[in-house]
Amino acid sequence: MTQHQPDDVLRFAPIDHTNFSQVLELKRPESEDYVAPVVLSLAEAWLYRDEQIIRPFAVYVGEQLVAFVMTSEEQGTRVLDIWRILIPEEHVNKGYGTRILETMIANARESKGYDALQLSYVPGNDLAEHVYRKVGFQATGVIDDGEIVMRMDL
């Protein structure tokens, strides 16, 4: 893994009143319709707030917002589901997707709270599939709501 300078380190911050508006401004690339808009993701997080299993995050490099990530945990399992990753057009193809996943994998291992990570992608999203495979996710053979499910055992 490449050594990064301190101001180049990824930081995952909860969504709160200080960054809510900035996070809402994140838009998926115009040519890409694979990832749900941030506003829908935050609405889903609010919908499931009582279960406390959905966690939306703003991802920063230094002080710059570079992505939105949302995770969920199925009650009674030790599987962390990476539900959404949205990287806006101005930050695509800069390695942030790989770095975000590598950081999430390292954090999950370090926490010792999970046995696996899981995510899914829409067929045809070749870039996502490539990145997911590159960091170690494998297809499970399961299709969930039209999406291909991938898993990484920790």
Alpha carbon distances (Å) from 19 to 6, 16, 47, 65: 21, 6, 20, 9
Q: Tokens standing for 137?
A: 């996710």
So what's the pLDDT on residue 32?
62
So what's the pLDDT on residue 2?
46
| φ, ψ of residue 71 in degrees (nearest 5) | -120, 160
CATH superfamily, region 6-153: Gcn5-related N-acetyltransferase (GNAT) (3.40.630.30)
Q: What residues contact 127, with CB distance under 8 A and at least 6 apart?
A: none
Q: Exposed e or buried b for every residue in 112-125, given b needs 16+ CB within 10 A?
A: eebeebbbbbeeeb
Cβ atoms of residues 118 and 82 within 8 Å? yes
What are the domain boundaries of the chain? 6-153
So what's the pLDDT on residue 30?
64
Q: What is the rounded CA–CA span in Å between residue 39 and residue 138?
A: 29
| φ, ψ of residue 117 in degrees (nearest 5) | -115, 150
So what's the pLDDT on residue 127?
85
Walk along the chain (154 residues) and give the pLDDT tens digit of each residue.
444 445 588 999 999 999 999 998 888 766 666 777 788 888 888 988 887 789 999 999 999 999 999 999 877 889 999 999 999 888 988 999 999 999 999 999 999 999 999 999 999 888 889 999 999 999 999 999 999 999 999 9
